[in-house]
């Protein structure tokens, strides 16, 4: 069956959330360096005298003169491409006046919107683009709804619930409310979905391998491929093996839903691989990417995962870090890379992140989880007290940049492949960036996927101390922060309890039949076991001991 899908434009395809904050600051309407959401800007301005007029003027500027600053909502390009591949018709139907409210420059809003769509390659003559004849900007809401009726839209997607609830809205059209904030609840008439990837799954289901192959052939023409096959994902990403001519393979990485996790994983990993590969590190080679699709292609690493960790592996991992420290100190400016994802540059930041994770987990209605947290919290408070006591004043002080390292962040055997030549290739740099080396060393020590023996843990600690021997506070920071990082890992193991996290993992791994309760219980048991390990190295009231 062929669908006729209608889509609103402003705040549905075009995202101007950051533009409102930026322009309001430029016009002197709000102060401060923080970024505010559109809703926050609106609330603030409407609280002022004459705020309604100011808000209308700001809207006129954002949707007119500054329309070019808007971004495409993450996931929309994926939706458009898959719709086109399946021969569904897609229309843009939006209520848009000729000029912005109180816009003294009289910028034509329709022209600004059409120009934005053209420059972002959403309108054109390509295989995956809309034609201008499929875009309708209507002067009133009434004419917008009439256009939806005339087009015979089988589905309509809008960010305004009141539009979908209009009495004249066609009853036969499937109504989808695009609601990134999840501020409303679905009912029998309107389906509320928070992201474009969610809308894609709701309307189209999953991509087939052939469809993925077709998109790669068009979007990445320099990668000559003939077939794509889904492999097991890594964390929340999906991995496809792309088969080219002469037995050449590539890896396509489809990154997690950017609306659910705004971290720039693609951009971070692509830049990190370029930097590391160009400096001779054993990593996969970054080839091409498309930020709108949130897809990237890398060299394919043929080999086997590393399941048995021995001293040779620890040696190779330590050597990687030793070389990375040298690169961090000599060639790279701090401006070339940002902080690592969830960087921990002070004890206070570690504790803040732990409490933030606890707050999210406490909202989950699961008796076993809440019982665990009740046992976890007293141990956490004792650990914080001991850490503060022995931190000698640096607990609240951010680590200076000269002592930071460019960290892979998620570093260990779980992100390595032994290639056919026996060489260890390090993969997965989505969280790469500047961080305290103590976090890097501690994560390697505690990561559940590593399962290091006591001897290897001790060997890793001693080797790390020798690598960072010029950092006179490294040893002390490691001793006092190691338990806190272990407690942090106890909570990371419980991510599957959070909404969306488990579904993303299932989708990435292409699991067809699983027992969700069994997965959650398994993660809870792992967390409880790790908690006991952490508390063994902590002796309250006297000292923090690391063998």
Residues 6+ apart with CB under 8 A from 188: none
d(CA 64, CA 14): 13
CATH number of 303-544: 3.90.1200
Same CATH fold, 209-299 and 4-16+63-204?
Answer: no
The mean predicted confidence, pLDDT, of the chain is 90
Q: What single-letter DSSP state applies at residue 96? A: -
Q: What's the fold here for domain 4-16+63-204?
A: Rossmann fold (3.40.50)
d(CA 345, CA 343): 6
139-175: pLDDT as tens digits: 999 999 999 999 999 999 999 999 999 999 999 999 9
pLDDT band of residue 502 (cuts 50, 70, 90) is: low
Long-range Cβ contact pairs of 215-218 (< 8 A, separation 24 or more):
215/81, 215/85, 215/128, 215/293, 215/295, 216/242, 216/252, 216/295, 216/297, 218/126, 218/127, 218/128
17-39: pLDDT as tens digits: 889 988 888 888 888 777 788 88
Name the residue among 208, 294, 297 with its Cα closest to residue 255: 294
Residue 55 has pLDDT above 90, yes or no: no
Percent of the chain residues past pLDDT 70, beyond the cut: 93
Q: What is the pLDDT of residue 425?
A: 96
Q: What is the pLDDT of residue 80?
A: 98
Residue 6: how many CA atoms within 13 Å on its side-chain side? 29
407-437: pLDDT as tens digits: 999 899 999 999 999 999 999 999 999 999 9
Residue 304 has pLDDT above 70, yes or no: yes
pLDDT band of residue 540 (cuts 50, 70, 90) is: very low
DSSP letter string, 231-267: EEEETTEEEEEEEEGGG-EEEEEE---TTT--S-HHH
Q: Three-class SS of residue 483? A: helix
Residue 274 has pLDDT above 90, yes or no: yes
Structure-derived torsion over alpha carbons of residues 505, 511, 517, 522, reported in degrees to the nearest 10 = -70
432-456: pLDDT as tens digits: 999 999 999 999 999 998 889 999 9
Residues 6+ apart with CB under 8 A from 481: 344, 347, 350, 387, 438, 439, 442
Long-range Cβ contact pairs of 417-423 (< 8 A, separation 24 or more):
417/301, 417/303, 417/304, 417/305, 417/306, 418/303, 418/304, 418/305, 418/306, 419/301, 419/302, 419/303, 420/302, 420/303, 423/282
3-state secondary structure 133-144: HHEEEECCHHHH
Q: What is the pLDDT of residue 107?
A: 79
Q: What's the fold here for domain 209-299?
A: Phosphorylase Kinase; domain 1 (3.30.200)
If residue 501 lies in a helix (H) or strand (E), which one and from where to where? helix 501-509
Residue 315: φ, ψ to 5°: -60, -45
d(CA 375, CA 490): 12
Q: What single-letter DSSP state applies at residue 419? A: E
Residue 43 has pLDDT above 50, yes or no: yes
Q: What is the pLDDT of residue 449?
A: 86
3-state secondary structure 31-52: CCCCCCCHHHHHHHHHCCCCHH
210-224: pLDDT as tens digits: 999 999 999 999 999
pLDDT band of residue 50 (cuts 50, 70, 90) is: confident
Least confident interval from 323-332, 388-397, 481-490: 323-332
Q: What is the pLDDT of residue 235?
A: 54
Enumerate the domain spans of the chain. 4-16+63-204, 209-299, 303-544
Q: Identify whether the C-beta of residue 380 lies closer than 8 Å to the C-beta of residue 484.
A: no
117-134: pLDDT as tens digits: 999 999 999 899 999 999
Residue 513 has pLDDT above 70, yes or no: no
Residue 87 has pLDDT above 90, yes or no: yes
Residue 505 has pLDDT above 60, yes or no: no
Q: Identify whether the C-beta of residue 258 lies closer than 8 Å to the C-beta of residue 532.
A: no
pLDDT band of residue 543 (cuts 50, 70, 90) is: very low
Residue 515 has pLDDT above 50, yes or no: yes
In total, the chain counts a number of residues equal to 547
Work out the number of other CB atoms within 10 angstroms of the CB of residue 156. 25
The sign of the torsion formed by the CA atoms of 380, 385, 390, 396 equals positive
Q: What is the pLDDT of residue 546?
A: 52
Give the chain's largest Cα–Cα span.
Answer: 78
Whether the predicted model's global pTM rises above the 0.75 cut: yes
- Locate all alpha helices (DSSP H) within 179-246, ordered by sequence: 196-204, 209-219
d(CA 154, CA 148): 9
Residue 371 has pLDDT above 60, yes or no: yes
């Amino acid at each position: 069956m062929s669908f006729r899908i209608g889509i609103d434009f402003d705040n549905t395809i075009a995202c101007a959330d950051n533009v409102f904050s930026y322009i309001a600051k430029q016009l002197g309407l709000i102060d401060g360096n923080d970024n505010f959401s559109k809703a926050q800007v609106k609330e603030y301005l409407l609280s002022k005298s004459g705020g309604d007029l100011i808000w209308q003027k700001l809207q006129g500027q954002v949707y007119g003169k500054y329309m070019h600053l808007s971004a495409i909502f993450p996931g929309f390009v994926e939706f458009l491409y898959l719709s086109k591949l399946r021969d569904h018709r897609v229309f843009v139907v939006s209520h848009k006046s000729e000029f912005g409210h109180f816009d003294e420059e009289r910028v034509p809003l329709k022209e600004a919107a059409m120009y934005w769509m053209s420059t972002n390659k959403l309108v054109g003559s390509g295989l995956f683009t809309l034609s201008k004849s499929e875009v309708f900007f209507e002067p009133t809401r009434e004419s917008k709804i009439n256009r939806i009726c005339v087009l015979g839209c089988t589905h309509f997607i809008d960010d305004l619930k009141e539009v979908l609830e209009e009495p004249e809205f066609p009853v036969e059209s499937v109504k989808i409310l695009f609601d990134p904030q999840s501020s409303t609840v679905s009912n029998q008439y309107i389906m509320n979905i928070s992201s474009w990837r969610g809308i894609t799954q709701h309307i189209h289901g999953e991509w087939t391998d052939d469809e993925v192959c077709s998109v790669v052939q068009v979007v990445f023409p320099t990668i000559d491929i003939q077939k794509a096959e889904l492999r097991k994902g890594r964390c929340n990403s999906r991995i496809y093996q792309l088969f080219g001519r002469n037995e050449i393979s590539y890896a396509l990485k489809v990154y997690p839903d950017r609306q659910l996790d705004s971290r720039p994983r693609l951009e971070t990993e692509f830049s990190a691989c370029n930097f590391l590969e160009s400096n001779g590190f054993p990593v996969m080679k970054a080839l091409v990417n498309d930020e709108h699709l949130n897809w990237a292609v890398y060299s394919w690493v043929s080999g086997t995962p590393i399941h048995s960790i021995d001293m040779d592996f620890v040696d190779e991992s330590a050597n990687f870090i030793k070389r990375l420290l040298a690169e961090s100190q000599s060639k790279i400016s701090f401006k070339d890379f940002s902080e690592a994802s969830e960087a921990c540059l002070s004890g206070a930041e570690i504790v803040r992140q732990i409490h933030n994770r606890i707050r999210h987990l406490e909202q989950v209605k699961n008796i076993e989880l809440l019982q665990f947290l009740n046992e976890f919290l007293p141990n956490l408070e004792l650990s914080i007290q001991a850490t503060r006591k022995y931190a000698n004043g640096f607990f609240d002080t951010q680590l200076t940049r000269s002592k930071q390292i460019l960290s892979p962040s998620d570093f260990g055997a779980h992100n390595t492949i032994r290639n056919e030549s026996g060489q260890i290739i390090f993969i997965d740099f989505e969280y790469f960036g500047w961080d305290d080396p103590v976090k890097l060393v501690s994560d390697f020590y505690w990561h559940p996927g590593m399962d290091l023996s006591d001897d290897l843990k001790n060997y890793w600690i001693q080797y790390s101390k020798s690598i960072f021997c010029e950092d006179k506070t490294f040893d002390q920071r490691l001793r006092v922060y190691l338990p806190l990082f272990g407690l942090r890992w106890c909570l990371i193991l419980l991510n599957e309890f959070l909404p969306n996290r488990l579904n993303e993992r299932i989708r990435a791994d292409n699991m067809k039949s699983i027992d969700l309760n069994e997965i959650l219980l398994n993660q809870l048991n792992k967390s409880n076991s790790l908690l006991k390990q952490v508390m063994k190295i902590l002796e309250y009231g006297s000292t923090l001991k690391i063998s």
